[in-house]
Structure 1
Amino acid sequence: MLLSGESSAFELIYKHNFHSLFQYGMRILDDEDAVGDCVHNLFVKIWENRKNLSPVVNTRFYLMSSLRNIIFNYNTQQNRFAKREIDDTNYFDLKFTLESDMIRKEEVNEKAVQLAAAMNKLTPRQKEIIYLKYFEELSYNEIAELMDLNVNGAYKLAARALEALRELLKIDKTLLLALLAEAKYQSFF
């Protein structure tokens, strides 16, 4: 429908994905104005090029991948990364903190607090893969493409991140996966 120029389809895609895209962009750039501009530019480009776009299987993946490229281009233009390769230490910032209203509640799950602390001990790449897999629910193929890994590398990175969390929390993998699912739906992070 968007490809045929229907503004209502475009508006629906925008409304459905803006928040998620903005949150993802903030984890990469940490500049609200710049991320807002990048998300805006993404949708402007989509609207302007709608007649030349090919149908996509996963709209959210397409949007996240496109936004990531726009942000990296923005960074290059702003000389923030000076066209150097992205390394594991400083490009994906995902700070895991409890929402302020959750802090005020007396019944905050102790495991959620421990999970947040453990997540902060992961490498940026490990944080990113946990975010993409368990919060954005992307497939390993999509994650591999987005993070510039091969699929086996994505599986290995995810396994290492989960194992690091499991060891930090001293819990079994099943409970860890349940905590991650709970964190996503309770907006702990």
Structure 2
Amino acid sequence: MPKGEYSGQPDECWIALKQGDSAAFEHIYRTHVHSLYRYGLSIWADEDAVLDAIHDVFTEVWHKRDRISYTDNVKFYLLKALKNRLIRLIDTAGRMQEISLSTLLIDPASLSTEQDEEALRQQTKVSDCLRELPPRQQEIVRLRFYENLSHQQIADLLNIQPQSAKNLLFRAIDTLRKAFCQTAASLLMLFFGSY
């Protein structure tokens, strides 16, 4: 398991989990499993492998709860643990599949009937433009805009300097703007906030 980036007060649920509280563990699982699943699929398109890796991460957290470090950002801790596990699996399997950003977009089921058609058109435009980015830029866009990680957390996750994370994200947005995808860049800002 990764050493958590500890810079503040530990998460109360995490403390309870470390003390053996199964309800806290279940809460952490329910809160973060969907983000882990989306992020896992962005690293490796093998759904079964991603689900197994997520299961392994949570199993390890529970079994090693008395030894895991405190963290003030449970989501980041779990994302990093999942990424490390998937990289080991990919290295073992000797293959890595291209990042897919189709899961970056808003779930159409969450929209009202009037919004469906326009939202789907916008989602298709964003998705098409994002697929044109290099895989590393796709990953950083996902981490910043969808997983809402800070530049420092992204840098830690990708093993790069924070300024490099900012530069990479800027280049990704700039590439979208220049490659006739101004709409996609604007929609990312609208859907997910500033970079």
Give the TM-score range, shorter chain.
Answer: 0.7 to 0.9
Q: Is 1:125 aligned with 2:140?
A: no
TM value normalised by structure 1: 0.80
What is the Cα-based RMSD across aligned positions, in Å? 2.8
Q: Is 1:58 aligned with 2:66?
A: no
| Pairing partner for 2:56 from 38, 41, 51 | 41
Q: Is 1:76 aligned with 2:91?
A: yes
Aligned-pair distance for 1:37?
0.5
TM value normalised by structure 2: 0.78
Q: Which residue of 2 aligns with 1:180?
A: 188
- Give deviations 1:37-76, integer Å, cap 9, x for gaps: 0000000000000001121011100000000001111122
Q: How many residues align?
A: 174
CA distance in 2 between counterparts of 1:182 and 1:131 reads: 15
Question: Aligned pair in 2 of structure 1 residues 93, 106: CA closer, same or farther (>3 Å)?
Answer: closer
Q: Report % sequence identity.
A: 32
The residue identity in structure 1 corresponding to 2:44 is: L
Aligned-pair distance for 1:169?
3.7
The residue identity in structure 1 corresponding to 2:23 is: S
Q: Structure 2: 5+ residue runs without aligned partners? A: 1-15
Aligned-pair distance for 1:24?
0.7
- Of residues 109-118 and 64-73 in structure 1, the stretch that sits farther from structure 2 once superposed is 109-118
| Pairing partner for 2:27 from 6, 9, 12 | 12
**Residue pair 1:25, 1:35 contacting (<8 A) in 2 also:** yes
Larger helix fraction of residues: 2
